[in-house]
Amino acid sequence: MANSCVSLVLLLFTLLLGHGFFQLEASQNICRNIHTSQQTCSDQPYRTSYHFQPLMNWMNAPMIYKGIYHLFYQYNPQGAVWDPSIVWAHSTSTDLINWIPHDPAMYPSQRSDINGCWSGSATILPGGEPAILYTGIASENTQVQNLVLPKNSSDPYLLEWVKSAENPLMEPPENVDPSSFRDPSTAWLGPDGTWRVVIGSELQDKGLVFLYRSKDFVNWTRAEQPLHSVEGTGIWECPDFFPVSTDSLIGIDTSKTGPNIKHVIKASLFDTKFDCYIIGTYDVTTDKFIPEAGSIDKVSGLRYDYGKFYASKLFFDSAKNRRILWAWINESSSEADDIKKGWSGLQAIPRSLWLDKSGKQLVQWPIAEIEMLRGHQVEWSSKFLEEGSVLEVTGITAAQADVEISFEITEFEKAEVLDSSWTNPQLLCSQLGASVKGAIGPFGLLVLASKDLQEYTAVFFRNIQRPEQICSAHVQSSLHADNDKATYGAFLDVDPVHEKLSLRSLIDHSIVESFGAGGKACITARVYPTLAIDEEAHLYAFNYGNEKVKITSLSAWSMKQARINEIIQQEDQHTLMDS
């Protein structure tokens, strides 16, 4: 059934009952993962329990150094909204789940960053020491690239950083808008002993990454040709350029080139807030990248995640030989709501990332460490979901859970055949929601659901047959009037005879991260339930399709709270680091 496709559809439907946004206390009353106590706060229903979440953040440079994971993130000490004079906050971890806060690593201080220290990336130099290139905002909003190095590289926590006296190292090219030149990637070292790095930019409306080369990491020269550019895509932010193995799931060092390797360019498209990627081959001697699969495209490019997911960064985890993808997840509420609740933005659960065996897309899966937070487990063996049925999964904390479910469909030849004009999965899904009956599907999960199903978020599949392998997915939402009510969708290319039709959702109060078919299509949504809060949240499996479907297995776990940026005693700190 090569031309049968299954769509992962994520529907988000929350009914609002009359009242407006909750009256929330400001930042002094942040609960869950800020306080040491395990209590939750009724006035902070949307605070998460196991996602990294400071007051306001935006991704910077994740890395591992001497066995310690570092997250530098953009942080506004003044409040819950973005401000250009942002600083680099710093937290460390031994497991990417529990985090210890440190003093900010960097403040605006030089002429080359006096108006802000923006995004950057870490590179591990051949001697093992890290170097960070970052964007500084100089006078008149001119964006330049700067270098910062650890003061004492014997310190695994890298608490102090020293900016290079040579800054700025890269200034906007003459024909480029000086406010559109930012976000250096991790650098890679060619066999010729020359470093390369890409910087996100645009020329007119052509999005692109400039390529720079350097022998010493300080004196950088721009290559004549950008590494890649696409007309009409607007500015590219937070670009990454990295190798993936074609014959193994393990991650490889950013500087690795050679046989059995493809390269990926990823760009965060500011105009549509999509993290798109393109897979191709890279010749390090000519610095030519030849695209093979995907595209950087404002509407239809291949994406890491088809929901809310932006400004992601990658790093090579040399301790576990994996490549880790980590994204910043914006709120879907208004800025006024963010100010009221006193925080905004969080980090997705870090994901391992590798090339699919088809070579045509990447696959992602939450890092194994997240499973240490799994508590009480509920399991179902095989069970049929009849037409129109809704079965509750009881016995776990449904507002804070990890759920894995697998389905088997037999009569897939009955799947709907869609008009070939349907090429936009998000649009398709906004029309074919969870309540629109199909032949096979919609079936899946109702998460963060109220008891009477007045509100819920549906994450589901719809089986579609098409001559070209295309399927769909979406999220619909009817939240507070000023919330972003986007519907999300993705085509998921699954062979239902040979592949498991599985879904995993990580649910954490106001975020649902879903992974279809083992991570071939991912959709992250922000949800702000008004009824399904804490103990009032329920979890269901459902099938609104005309054909029954079989659940081959279901495992659901209550998730424990992670220790994130707790202010803890020195002694505890050592226990945490040792454990």
Binding site for ligand NAG (CB under 6 A): 152, 154-155, 219, 221, 273, 310, 330-332, 484
Closer to ligand NAG by Cβ: residue 89 or 562: 89
Closer to ligand NAG by Cβ: residue 446 or 479: 479
Residue 70: CB minimum distance to ligand NAG, A: 15
Q: What residue type is assigned to position 43 of the chain?
A: D
Write out the E strands in 527-576: 538-543, 549-559
d(CA 317, CA 252): 9
Instruction: Identify the helix (H) or strand (E) that includes residue 163.
Output: strand 161-163
Residue 74: CB minimum distance to ligand NAG, A: 11
Q: Evaluate the CA torsion angle 398, 329, 317, 159 in order and state its sign.
A: negative
Can you read off the two tokens belonging to residue 253?
């060092």
Strand 143-150 to strand 161-163: parallel, antiparallel, or no bridges (unpaired)? antiparallel
Closer to ligand NAG by Cβ: residue 156 or 232: 156
Residue 523: CB minimum distance to ligand NAG, A: 16
Residue nearest to ligand NAG (CB): 484
d(CA 96, CA 377): 23
Half-sphere exposure of 446 (CA within 13 A, CB side): 29
Check whether the bond before 191 is cis (ω within 30° of 0). Answer: no
**Do the beta carbons of residue 88 and residue 105 sit within 8 Å?**
yes
Closer to ligand NAG by Cβ: residue 6 or 56: 56
Closer to ligand NAG by Cβ: residue 271 or 535: 271
Closer to ligand NAG by Cβ: residue 242 or 310: 310
Can you read off the two tokens belonging to residue 31?
């609960």
Closer to ligand NAG by Cβ: residue 109 or 152: 152
User: Distance of CA 77 to CAs 46, 60, 82, Å?
Assistant: 21, 16, 10
Closer to ligand NAG by Cβ: residue 152 or 260: 152
Strand, helix or coil for residue 334: coil
* Tokens 């690593």 sit on residue: 105
Residue 195: CB minimum distance to ligand NAG, A: 11
Question: Cα angle vertex 530, ends 524, 531, to 5°?
Answer: 105
**Do the beta carbons of residue 237 and residue 270 sit within 8 Å?**
yes
Closer to ligand NAG by Cβ: residue 528 or 542: 528
d(CA 211, CA 221): 9
Residue 269: CB minimum distance to ligand NAG, A: 11
**Of residues 517, 383, 399, 386, the one with CA closest to residue 456:** 399
Closer to ligand NAG by Cβ: residue 154 or 421: 154
Residue 192: CB minimum distance to ligand NAG, A: 12
Residue 169: CB minimum distance to ligand NAG, A: 10
Strand 416-417 to strand 456-465: parallel, antiparallel, or no bridges (unpaired)? parallel
Residue 224: CB minimum distance to ligand NAG, A: 13
Closer to ligand NAG by Cβ: residue 22 or 157: 157
Residue 203: CB minimum distance to ligand NAG, A: 22
Instruction: Identify the helix (H) or strand (E) that includes residue 427.
Output: helix 425-431
Residue 77: CB minimum distance to ligand NAG, A: 19
Residue 155: CB minimum distance to ligand NAG, A: 4
User: Distance of CA 26 to CAs 23, 79, 80, 340, 341, Å?
Assistant: 10, 10, 10, 6, 6
**Do the beta carbons of residue 577 and residue 94 sit within 8 Å?**
yes
